[in-house]
Amino acid sequence: MRCPHCESDITHVIDTTHDARGGIRRRRECEVCKQRFSTYERAILSTPLIIKKDNSREEFDREKLLQGIRIACAKRPVPAAEIERLAGEVESDLQQMNKLEVPSRVIGDMVIRRLKDLDHVAYIRYAIVYLPLGNLKDIQKEVNQLLKTEGE
């Protein structure tokens, strides 16, 4: 592994941890400059092509998924690790489906279901774009449903 600070190839692993999705996080130290850095290793598994609403196809893009979740969670008390976890779960679910193509709606459903459990405001933000909430009455109805389930 090359050091990101001095580009030396002489590094050693200090600590290794495994996550639930099968990834490996390694804490490393450069022998030359003594700087420490982390690396994350995960298997590259194939994800299906995404079928958009206009029937075009595109590769699954984890960064695009993360960006959408980050926008919904902006200025909310949602840790970055939770956003990464959510995106990882969606990506893992897609890989486990073992399908060549998946409608974009499936991904949206996965995200919105998880956001509802994570943060209600982020859920509403995502729902305004994702669900057909075209007016204030529809948004109010969705908020009222959330308040009802929160009160139970």
Model pLDDT, residue 152: 58
Residue 35 placed within a domain: yes
Residue 5 placed within a domain: no
* Phi-psi region at 116: left, alpha or beta (left = phi > 0; alpha = psi -120 to 50): alpha
Instruction: Please give the residue range of the domain that contains residue 35.
Output: 11-41
Phi, psi angles (nearest 5°) of residue 78? -110, 115
Task: Assess whether 23 and 93 both reside in one domain.
Answer: no
Could you give the 3-state DSSP secondary structure of residue 49? strand
**Nearest 10 degrees: CA dihedral of 91, 63, 105, 22?**
0
Least confident of 84-93, 94-103, 126-135: 126-135
Confidence check: pLDDT of 20 > 80: no
- 95 close to 51: Cβ distance less than 8 angstroms: no
Residue 1 placed within a domain: no
Q: What does pLDDT average to over the chain?
A: 89
Task: Assess whether 31 and 90 both reside in one domain.
Answer: no
Task: Assess whether 64 and 31 both reside in one domain.
Answer: no
Residue 132 placed within a domain: yes
Tokens of 54: 């206009």
pLDDT band (50, 70, 90) for residue 82: very high
- Number of domains within the chain: 2
Could you tell me the CA-to-CA distances from 12 to 7, 81, 148 in Å, in that order?
A: 14, 26, 54
Task: Assess whether 94 and 118 both reside in one domain.
Answer: yes
Task: Assess whether 35 and 64 both reside in one domain.
Answer: no
Tokens of 89: 């779960």
Distance CA 100, CA 97 (A): 9
User: If you average pLDDT over residues 6-13, what whole number do you get?
Assistant: 94
Residue 3 placed within a domain: no
The conformation of residue 96, written as its DSSP 8-state character, comes to H
Task: Assess whether 134 and 95 both reside in one domain.
Answer: yes
Task: Assess whether 86 and 143 both reside in one domain.
Answer: yes
User: If you average pLDDT over residues 2-30, what whole number do you get?
Assistant: 89
Q: What is this structure's pTM? A: 0.66
- 82 close to 118: Cβ distance less than 8 angstroms: yes
Model pLDDT, residue 135: 80
